[in-house]
Amino acid sequence: MSVDALFRPFSLKGLDLKNRIVMAPMTRGMATGGVPGPANAEYYRRRAVGEVGLILTEGTVIDRPASRNLPGIPFFHGPQALDGWADVAKAVHEAGGRIGPQIWHTGSTRSGDWEPDAPVESPSGLVGPGDPRGVAMTEENIADTVAAFARAAADAKNLGFDTVEVHGAHGYLIDQFFWSATNLREDAYGGETIRDRSRFAAEVMREIRKAVGPDFPLILRVSQWKQQDYTSRLANTPDEMTDWLLPLVEAGADVLHCSQRRFWEAEFPELDGAEGLNFAGWAKKLTGATTISVGSVGLSSDFMGAFAGESSKSTPLDNLTGRMERDEFDLIAVGRAMISNPDWVQRVHQGQMDKLEDFSASDLQDLV
């Protein structure tokens, strides 16, 4: 099996990558006081030394009350946290890597018993279908949140990051606007169609684009599935997917990071078969945007099990290489396998798949 397709360089708006492999954003919850320190910088530097094309950081939250759902999640605001992030970017650059922060607002998904110091917020005060939590956002809250996203993106650019990713997936704030089960608003941010409910995300992308200028590459992460409901879908047809994603590309997203739990699953198998295009494939075809795919690359089971202590075996990449040779999508993100193997990319390049460690849930306990 040739892995050459993964090792073609890639370039977009000055973002020059040595290969097509992206480190997926993964929350580690180990930023003391919300400030990334030397251990966090070293963790990312090791992946850059391991020749990852592009590192996307763990979700790091914007300047809104209760925008994070766990202590230990880093802030992307305030001088101390931003200084910490500048050191992360510098460490990765010195190792020859490229990096973007994933900017985030966790909406109403507060975890476990932890109480943030303000009520959690979301479009309609819900965390899932018929499941109230926290407060519904006012139009003023929404405007402030859009502005906070734009400030965070501008800060990312000013700190020297190579790109920024907006987290619009997995049932957090932006996705709570997309999802009809959590967005019951009757104002301009709600509505019957996915295009109506995309308005908040489009405003976020438009304001970010204004703040960073036309030449800075912007990534938006989206998913059909939610942590609240794996089977839920925002788009049931290609037309609905176009209505959802095209306005976001027009608003400023250069890259759509299309999150699936298993990348090989066809998005619309009823149209092009069980081996048909995946989510990133369809998103690229329908919008013309660059796309990133993700989900269980090189592993035997999907990532939700990791939170229940499940391990996952290293597996071959044959389903991936063909799709990349056909340019079904442009980049591929790798998550857990890269936690267990900071040198995952080098090993794959050198044909040493047999030397890769399996993913063990205990690998999440330390930042190495």
Ligand X SMILES: Cc1cc2nc3c(=O)[nH]c(=O)nc-3n(C[C@H](O)[C@H](O)[C@H](O)COP(=O)(O)O)c2cc1C
Name the site residues for ligand X (rule: CB under 6 A): 24-27, 58-59, 102, 167, 169-170, 221, 259, 294-297, 299, 302-303, 306, 334-337, 364
Closest C-alpha to 337, from 298, 282, 286: 298
Instruction: List, in order, residues 6 or more apart from 199 with CB less than 8 Å away.
Output: 177, 188, 189, 191
For ligand X, give the closer residue by CB, 24 or 142. Answer: 24
DSSP assignments along 65-82, one per residue: TT--SSTTPPBS-SHHHH
For ligand X, give the closer residue by CB, 185 or 331. Answer: 331
Min. distance of Cβ 311 from ligand X in angstroms?
A: 12
CB-based burial label for 352 (10 Å; 0-12, 13-18, 19+): exposed
Min. distance of Cβ 367 from ligand X in angstroms?
A: 12
Residues 81, 34 contacting (CB under 8 angstroms): yes
Cα 323 to its chain centre, rounded Å, is 21
Min. distance of Cβ 210 from ligand X in angstroms?
A: 24
Min. distance of Cβ 239 from ligand X in angstroms?
A: 26
Among 43, 44, 172, 189, the active-site one is 172
Residue with tokens 């998550």: 335
For ligand X, give the closer residue by CB, 55 or 154. Answer: 55
Instruction: List, in order, residues 6 or more apart from 140 with CB less than 8 Å away.
Output: none
Catalytic status, residue 172: yes
Closest C-alpha to 191, from 207, 180, 204: 180
For ligand X, give the closer residue by CB, 27 or 176. Answer: 27
Joined together, the tokens standing for residue 31 give 């930023």
For ligand X, give the closer residue by CB, 34 or 295. Answer: 295
Instruction: List, in order, residues 6 or more apart from 232 with CB less than 8 Å away.
Output: 179, 181, 224, 225, 226
3-state secondary structure of 54: strand
Residue nearest to ligand X (CB): 335
Q: Which of the 8 DSSP states describes residue 24?
A: P
Instruction: List, in order, residues 6 or more apart from 56 with CB less than 8 Å away.
Output: 22, 23, 24, 25, 99, 100, 101, 102, 165, 219, 257, 333
For ligand X, give the closer residue by CB, 196 or 302. Answer: 302
Min. distance of Cβ 335 from ligand X in angstroms?
A: 3
Min. distance of Cβ 56 from ligand X in angstroms?
A: 8
For ligand X, give the closer residue by CB, 170 or 199. Answer: 170
Cα 298 to its chain centre, rounded Å, is 19
The C-alpha atoms of residue 119 and residue 100 are separated, in whole angstroms, by: 29
Segments of the chain assigned E as strands: 10-12, 15-17, 21-23, 54-61, 99-104, 121-122, 126-128, 131-132, 135-136, 164-167, 218-223, 255-259, 290-294, 331-334
Min. distance of Cβ 338 from ligand X in angstroms?
A: 7
Q: Which amino acid is at 207?
A: E
Active site residues: 172
